[in-house]
Amino acid sequence: MRRAPNPKVPTPRVIVTRELADTVMERMEQLFDTTNNRGDVPMDRARLAGAMADCDVFVPTVTDTIDAALIEGAGARLKLIANFGAGVNHIDLKAARARGIVVTNTPGVLTEDTADITMALILSVPRRLGEGEKLVRDGAWKGWAPSGMLGHRIGGKALGIAGMGRIGRAVARRARAFGLSIHYHNRHRLPETVEAEFGATWHDTLDGLLQATDILTIHTPRNADSENMIDARRLALMRPTACIINTARGGIVDEDALIEALENGRLAGAGLDVWKFEPEIDPRLLALPNVMMIPHMGSATYEGRMAMGEKVIANIRMWADGHRPPDQVLEGWV
């Protein structure tokens, strides 16, 4: 049932690009004049442009590239892009700002799930979980042997966290329980009390962090500053026994340089949830046994997706009622 029209607050017209949880779609239909994408039919560029010409609020996801041309071509009525997801690198924020379009995201509700998947990769790569699973699945396991499937111990190693925001800290909390020592690099040093909570050592440069690290995990947003942040030069600073975990965004690690380092034994392994050209995976990575690969599933829980939907709804409602939405993406991202 749609909410009773209030002449003072016109019901916003909302278009959602992907199929969300049933309860989220139903609630959106009750509250707003919503077109959901039931059936999840992919929206190509022409359909995205058509949708953006015809709504007040547009709800994309990471799979929609909302570039400057699309934003400039949007209808004058488009005033809010309420992204379903925390990362907003697929939206041209400068173009949105220039058009006076507010952008919101869904932070906070996917922190713990993403940290869990990160921790799973941190454990999987040194302990060769992917290789072990493949051995069993392929029927190639010949039985226990003293030297069978040896990996490296997790406890006592140094975890390097690049980006100590919400997710970085949630990873640190978990990693401590596994006996990892916590090292981090962040634009701003954390208060001493927070460092003490994690027993964390701050490195004032990313280069310094890389040199001190056995397992590097990346938790920075993808923006102009972080593009190819881990490039060939930085990879060369890392220990050959080290590995990299990336559950943030593909373009932060230079994929070609990473592959080269792995192929040449200059890096011991990688655990990847995100990719430069999702869903395409470079075939050279597929050939590397020391790479654990998963399909951008860091936040993929039923609970998380519900909470993300609720955040999108809350942002739209606040905006529609004339308030600043709680998760407005601010200048720092641009």
Q: Is 249 a catalytic residue?
A: yes
Residue placing its CB nearer to ligand 8YV in the complex, 34 or 89: 89
- Residues 124 and 112: their CA atoms lie apart, in Å, by 18
Closest chain position to ligand 8YV (CB)? 85
Residue placing its CB nearer to ligand 8YV in the complex, 251 or 298: 298
- Closest distance to ligand 8YV from the beta carbon of 178 (Å): 23
Residue 191, phi then psi, degrees to nearest 5: -60, 150
Q: Which residue ranges make up the site for ligand 8YV (CB under 6 A)? A: 61-62, 84-87, 110, 298-299
Residue placing its CB nearer to ligand 8YV in the complex, 83 or 213: 83
Interacting residues of 183 by C-beta distance below 8 A, sequence separation 6+: 158, 159, 160, 161, 200, 201, 202, 203, 209, 212, 213
- Residues 285 and 50: their CA atoms lie apart, in Å, by 37
- Residues 219 and 194: their CA atoms lie apart, in Å, by 17
Residue placing its CB nearer to ligand 8YV in the complex, 17 or 181: 17
Q: Are 49 and 73 in contact (CB under 8 A)?
A: yes
- Closest distance to ligand 8YV from the beta carbon of 274 (Å): 7
Residue placing its CB nearer to ligand 8YV in the complex, 85 or 130: 85
Q: Which position among 128, 219, 234, 296 bears the catalytic label?
A: 296
Element housing 273 (H / E): none
DSSP output for 208-228: HHHHT-SEEEE----STTTTT
| Number of Cβ atoms within 10 Å of the Cβ of 185 | 24
CA atoms within 13 A on the CB side of 147: 0
- Closest distance to ligand 8YV from the beta carbon of 109 (Å): 9
- Closest distance to ligand 8YV from the beta carbon of 122 (Å): 17
Residue placing its CB nearer to ligand 8YV in the complex, 87 or 271: 87
Q: Which position among 133, 227, 263, 278 bears the catalytic label?
A: 278
Q: Which position among 169, 222, 249, 305 bears the catalytic label?
A: 249
**What letter represents residue 98's amino acid?**
A
- Closest distance to ligand 8YV from the beta carbon of 220 (Å): 12
Q: Considering Cα of 87, then 93, then 99, then 104, what sign does the dihedral take? A: positive
**What letter represents residue 162's amino acid?**
A
- Closest distance to ligand 8YV from the beta carbon of 199 (Å): 28
Q: Is 234 a catalytic residue?
A: no
User: Mind telling me the catalytic residues?
Assistant: 249, 278, 296
